[in-house]
Amino acid sequence: MERNKQIQIGLLALLALLLIANLFGGGFKNWFKSENDKIRESAIASTSLNSNNLSAAEPTAMEGNIPGTNLNATVSNLPTTTIQYENEKYNFGVIDEGEIVKYTYKFKNTGSEPLIISNAKGSCGCTVPTWPKEPVPPGGSGELKVEFNSKGKPGPQSKRVTVTANTTPTETYLEIAGEVRAKEQPAAKGASAN
């Protein structure tokens, strides 16, 4: 009988601790969340609750682009913010064919909502962007890296990267340009050098 009372008291104490933890911080799961997780969830929750065609339980935003989320809609469903690039155009000058140019475009979230970049796409397969997958808080800064592979691209080059985010406008554009000096072609068999 004494043993049963001890178990009951222990279970009641555990239950009381869980209730207190739930009241102060939303439960144990919130104790281990990063600030970025909290920003992302806040943006998603406000979107879900403000959308006429979505319930609070339905996911929103971008599928697969933010780690740890299962989101199906587009950034157009999120509250909008603004983005300001330090430099929207980069000229790499003259390079030899086959060289790879890397450039980092720096930007700032100049709005009042978390900035979420859902996609960045180069105008061709030779231009590959990499963008932050976590939300950038208001006033925060980030970097979008672009790699241009000049293999098979002799001559003047101008490539565009389209950045899709919860900004106004939804798409912004970056440019990487320059001149690619063609490789010297080996002389054809049987051709004579003059």
Residue 73's pLDDT is 43
Structure tokens at 39: 């920003």
In a domain, 1, yes or no: no
Residue 157's pLDDT is 97
Residue 4's pLDDT is 84
Residue 151's H or E segment, with its range, is: none
SS3 call for 146: strand
pTM for the predicted model, two decimal places: 0.60
Residues 88 and 174 reside in one and the same domain: yes
Residue 70's pLDDT is 33
Tens of pLDDT, residue by residue, the chain (194 residues): 788 888 888 888 887 777 677 666 654 555 555 555 555 555 554 444 333 333 333 333 333 344 444 333 466 678 999 999 999 999 999 999 999 999 999 999 999 999 999 999 999 999 999 999 999 999 999 999 999 999 999 999 999 999 999 999 999 999 999 999 998 866 656 555 55
Residue 12's pLDDT is 83
In a domain, 49, yes or no: yes
In a domain, 168, yes or no: yes
Residue 193's pLDDT is 53
Overall domain count for the chain = 2
Q: Which of 97, 93, 107, 91 is nearest to 172 (CA)?
A: 107
Q: Domain containing 60: what range? A: 15-77
Residues 87 and 173 reside in one and the same domain: yes
Q: Is the peptide bond before 186 cis (omega within 30 degrees of 0)?
A: no
Residues 66 and 108 reside in one and the same domain: no
Tens digits of residue pLDDT in 146-158: 999 999 999 999 9
Residues 99 and 152 reside in one and the same domain: yes
Through-space distance between the first and last CA atoms of the chain, rounded to whole angstroms: 110
Dihedral sign from CA coordinates of 110, 111, 114, 120 = negative
